[in-house]
A and B are shown apart, each in its own frame.
Chain A
Amino acid sequence: MKSTFKFFCLAAFVSCCLLAASSAFAAKTIKVGIVDTYSGPASTYTNDVRDAFALAVNKINAAGGIFGQQVEFVTRDSKFKVDLGLSAAKELVMREEVDILMGTINSALALALSDFAKQEKIPFLATFAKSAKITGEKGHRYVFSMNENTAMIGKAAAAGLAKLPYTTYWIAGDDYEYGHAVADGVWENLKKLKPEVRLLGQSWWKVGEPDFTPYITAMLAEEPDAVIIATGGRDCVPFLKAAQTTGFNKLVPFYMHTATEISTLKPLGLTAPEGVIGTANYHSYYPDTEENKAFVAEFEKAYDRTPAVGALYGYITAQFISKAYAKAGEVNTEKFIDALEGLSVDSPVGTVTMRAEDHQVMLPMFMGMTTKVEGKQFLVASEIITIPAEESMPSLDEIRKARQL
């Protein structure tokens, strides 16, 4: 009798241990490490990525997670610095043991993280960095891009500009990789589509140039039909301001990527120039679908601000992660990557697909013109034409050629 009781106790103890172990196992989470610039001017863009990602992750977790596992994420501030970001990524992988790396608006850091991801064999989902090298010549199995890149901007802009009646152009932009890559991309593609275009000259200013007035008057003196402005991020705002005060937009039509985007137009309020041609991946008011409206309402409710383009990147990244793991059936890097290749998810801009061959997400681009609208406190894009991803993506031949270099 005594021994039966002893056995019973032992059995109870063992089963308790097993239960504890299995519950500990079930509590294991899928961990995403985000390295991005959260201080300094770039945070205007990166906060939207993180917040939309958090929103989507909370929803996934509330619905029971991915096959029962909760998704968790940690962020590290890279302060727009490559060395800081890289050591943060190492720390995330070694100590936090994250399953996936994500992030960064800084292209140089994105490329460094991509290298690191390749060594460590851990998936890296690049959000916001616009270098075409990420999925072009430096692409590999472990890196994915969740946004448009300079090659796609160039192709999309050229497709739009070729339809306009301008032949002589001036190119001006930020004197660093993004500026030159966008300018080259637009110009190479525009020449192919419309061989009669002629380049009158170029101006290049330093990143963070405070005063664009002298550049604008110098460009006006050359009297081009149209100007391509290859300026990115926060420099768009003072450029548009200078364009407004000099009346540049009324004298010469000009194109600038993200000129129609809310991050650029909101700080300017109603003083933003009208008639500027811009491209963007996302508008909170376009496409005018139920999915987009629902997404905007949810984001506004959570954060009390309108989602900008970064929110789209954050949202689709969360969707891709959850769907790819669900498809893979387990937390396994190689299976995750196989599942992610060619995967499609629903998004506020419709169904988007991760191209299997080069790991570049296929997002449509919206070209429009800045316009004042009654009742809005800032300008919006009008006369929007949608350039489908198929038209703006670099061809697979181009990718293959780039990767052989």
Chain B
Amino acid sequence: MELFTGLSFSVLCIQILVGLSKATILFIVASGLTLILGVLRIPNLAHGSLYMIGAFTTYSIATAFSQSSLGFWIALLLAPLIVALIGLIMEQGLFRFLYNRDHLMMLLFTFSFTLVFGDLVKLLWGSDYRSLAVPEIFQGSYSLLGMPFPRYNLFLLLLGPVFAAGLWFLTNRTILGKISRAAAVDREMVGAVGINVNRIYAAVFVLGCYLAGVGGALVAPTQNISQGMDHSIIIEIFLIVIIGGLGNVWGALLGAVIFGLTDAIGILVAPQFGIIFPYLAVITVLIFRPKGLLKSIW
């Protein structure tokens, strides 16, 4: 089946699947950012750094357990928890005292954390990049419609909906989710009815950091784990959060899908200029819906 300009249907399908699997990681990381942004009102620039720490920690844990075939899975379990712990220390040690400051202050404060974490990673892991092998059961690729589709990408593709459903359940069906949604709208009122808002804030912040860690752990086998990966992801996920609607988890999902798909399709349609398509999509969205596609909590 041939579409226009000889672009075959199967190639297009594979490219969409590849784009969606990329969107999975973007969504997981962006949802963490948007949760913190929506509930705590902190534009956490250090989110990308936590993602980077997640990737490096995954590398270290996976290589420590490299004799067993479970190395990556142990790392996938532990690394995000370590990142969440760092988040807990950050929140309890520092952010807790700063909730009343204005956004610009917070922005500068979290920016300083990107520098601190950047140097911390350099101190702990050195300046070399690391490379982690894809776990054994996901090595190689499946043949779909006559095109190769990497097994690991399929794993990511299946994981995306799991995380989306989990987040939906957490925000809509649990007490924590309900209170945090309420706290996002009116913090004082929630406090007035006798709920410990600080604890809710801490929980949401830690959850957001955990998601950054998961993203870092999942991306570790697919790319170079190196310094600078914090900067490249933070730009992408901020754009995703902005086009989706600040603080809206479904907006993050929508934004990530748009970003992943325009990237993959762009590469197929105009390979020489593939880089610009996601950014064109962002500009288009912002022209027509400056507040984002879905309702912003701000």
Do A and B truly interact?
yes
Q: Which residues of A contact B (CB under 8 A)?
A: 38-41, 43-44, 172, 175, 201-206, 208, 210-211, 213-215, 217-221, 234-235, 237-238, 241-242, 244-248, 251, 267-269, 271
Kindly provide the distance from the CB of B62 to the nearest chain A CB, expressed in whole angstroms. 13
A247, B271: Cβ atoms closer than 8 Å: no
Interface centre among A39, A267, A268 (most CB of B within 10 A): A267
A203, B11: Cβ atoms closer than 8 Å: no
> In chain A, what residue has the closest Cβ to B7?
A221
For B229-260 the 0/1 string (1 means CB < 8 A from A) is 10010000000000000000000000000000
Q: What DSSP secondary structure best describes chain A's contact surface? A: helix
Residue contacts A-B, CB under 8 angstroms, 19 given: A38-B127, A39-B127, A41-B128, A41-B227, A43-B127, A202-B271, A210-B219, A210-B229, A214-B18, A214-B264, A221-B11, A237-B129, A238-B131, A238-B223, A238-B224, A246-B141, A247-B140, A268-B131, A271-B139
A210, B271: Cβ atoms closer than 8 Å: no
Besides the contacts A237-B224, A271-B139, what 18 more A-B pairs have beta carbons closer than 8 Å?
A38-B127, A41-B128, A204-B273, A206-B275, A208-B228, A211-B222, A214-B264, A214-B268, A215-B271, A234-B129, A238-B223, A238-B224, A241-B223, A245-B139, A245-B150, A246-B141, A246-B149, A268-B133
**B15 cross-chain contacts in A, Cβ below 8 A:** 214, 217-218
Docked Cα-Cα span, A201 to B7, in Å, equals 14
* Choice from B8, B223, B272 contacting A211 with Cβ under 8 Å: B223
> In chain B, what residue has the closest Cβ to A39?
B127
Docked Cα-Cα span, A197 to B219, in Å, equals 38
Docked Cα-Cα span, A234 to B226, in Å, equals 10
B229, A221: Cβ atoms closer than 8 Å: no
* Choice from A38, A203, A242 contacting B271 with Cβ under 8 Å: A203
**A246 cross-chain contacts in B, Cβ below 8 A:** 141, 148-150
Question: Given A202-B272, A215-B271, A247-B140 in contact, is the A241-B222 Cβ separation under 8 Å?
Answer: yes
B130 interface residue, CB < 8 Å from A?
Answer: yes
Docked Cα-Cα span, A201 to B8, in Å, equals 17
Kindly provide the distance from the CB of B7 to the nearest chain A CB, expressed in whole angstroms. 8
Kindly provide the distance from the CB of B142 to the nearest chain A CB, expressed in whole angstroms. 10
B140, A241: Cβ atoms closer than 8 Å: no
**B226 cross-chain contacts in A, Cβ below 8 A:** 40-41, 234
B272, A203: Cβ atoms closer than 8 Å: yes
A205, B274: Cβ atoms closer than 8 Å: yes
A41, B11: Cβ atoms closer than 8 Å: no
**B139 cross-chain contacts in A, Cβ below 8 A:** 244-245, 271
Kindly provide the distance from the CB of A111 to the nearest chain B CB, expressed in whole angstroms. 23
**B150 cross-chain contacts in A, Cβ below 8 A:** 213, 242, 245-246
**CB under 8 Å from chain A, chain B span 266-293:** 267-268, 271-275
**B208 cross-chain contacts in A, Cβ below 8 A:** none
For B115-147 the 0/1 string (1 means CB < 8 A from A) is 000000010000111110110000111000001
**5 smallest A-B Cβ distances: which pairs?**
A203-B271, A221-B11, A267-B131, A245-B150, A210-B223
Docked Cα-Cα span, A238 to B133, in Å, equals 10
**A40 cross-chain contacts in B, Cβ below 8 A:** 127, 226-228
Kindly provide the distance from the CB of B145 to the nearest chain A CB, expressed in whole angstroms. 11
**B140 cross-chain contacts in A, Cβ below 8 A:** 245, 247
**A242 cross-chain contacts in B, Cβ below 8 A:** 150, 222
B14 interface residue, CB < 8 Å from A?
Answer: yes
